Amino acid sequence: MADDKLILLDFWASMFGMRVRISLDEKGIEYEYKEQDLFDKGPLLLQMNPIHKKIPVLIHNGKPVCESLIILQYIDEVWPDKAPLLPSDPYQRTQARFWADFIDKKVYDASRKIWATKGEEQEAGKKDFLEALKMLEGELGEKPYFEGERFGYVDVALVGFYSWFYAYESFGNFSIEADFPKITAWANRCLQRESVAKALVDGKKVHEVIVDLRKSWGIE
């Protein structure tokens, strides 16, 4: 599909956008990146995602695809020949989708409470986040990647959160490296991939943005 035109509407620190960037780079697909201001959303984002008004949005030949996990599946179906994300086995595909959904529902929701709230709500988020990481570490086991020897869908779904680990640890007062050595080793292994190293951002820069947000929200 040499004539395809791809535009990615994204925000630099979004772990959801990182998923799409990694997937496109893994498959060697060229695209135009358009940074979005999430506090002053532009007309293109509002036109292409009028329901949720959120990034990331992948625009393929003028047609929008929204929601990061749906975008990953779309990319895998349209460009199946190189670096497949999902396993070929139907049952293994269901398991990969299950864990990616788990990450969105359990990891993200809990992790957001760590940096966006305080007091009892923050403590509850911290507890749920650590429990979710424990389950993920159990699923990872001794495997190099979540699907075994192959970097795939679940790895892509989770690895962007690594850019936010420093902030979670700072506001939640815990150490992921100390408590979850297998997850830490997995993240470092993923970072050896060019696509991941290129997509992930400096955790301290993410932390700086969150500090400013918390002040503006009156949390600090």
pLDDT greater than 80 at residue 47: yes
Residue 4: the pLDDT is: 85
First-to-last CA distance in the chain? Answer: 50
Mean pLDDT of the chain: 96
User: Looking at residue 188, what is its pLDDT?
Assistant: 98
- Rounded to two decimals, what is the model's pTM? 0.96
Residue 219 has a pLDDT of 86
For 87-115, how does the pLDDT look when each residue is reduced to its tens digit (9 = 90+)? 999 999 999 999 999 999 999 999 999 99
Q: pLDDT > 90: what percent of the chain?
A: 95
Residue 84 has pLDDT above 60, yes or no: yes
Per-residue model confidence as pLDDT tens digits over 166-210: 999 999 999 999 999 999 999 999 999 999 999 999 999 999 999
The stretch 140-156 carries a mean pLDDT of 97
Residue 1 reports pLDDT greater than 80: no
User: Residue 8 phi/psi, 5° resolution?
Assistant: -115, 115
pLDDT band, residue 125 (cuts 50/70/90) = very high
Q: What is the pLDDT of residue 30?
A: 96
Mean pLDDT for 53-78 is 98
Predicted pLDDT at 17? 98
Residue 213 CA: distances (Å) to CA of 11, 109, 173, 218 = 15, 17, 19, 9
Q: What is the mean pLDDT of residues 136-165?
A: 98
Would the pLDDT of 37 be above 80?
Answer: yes
Residue 174: the pLDDT is 97
Instruction: Give, in degrees to the nearest 5, the angle at Cα 48 between 111 and 97.
Output: 45
Residue 48 has pLDDT above 90, yes or no: yes
Vertex 102, ends 88 and 87: CA angle to 5°? 5
pLDDT at 81 over 70: yes
Mean pLDDT of 43-66: 97
Across 86-213, where does the E strand assignment appear?
none
- Residue 190: which residues within 8 A CB-CB, separation 6 or more? 145, 151, 155, 159, 162, 196
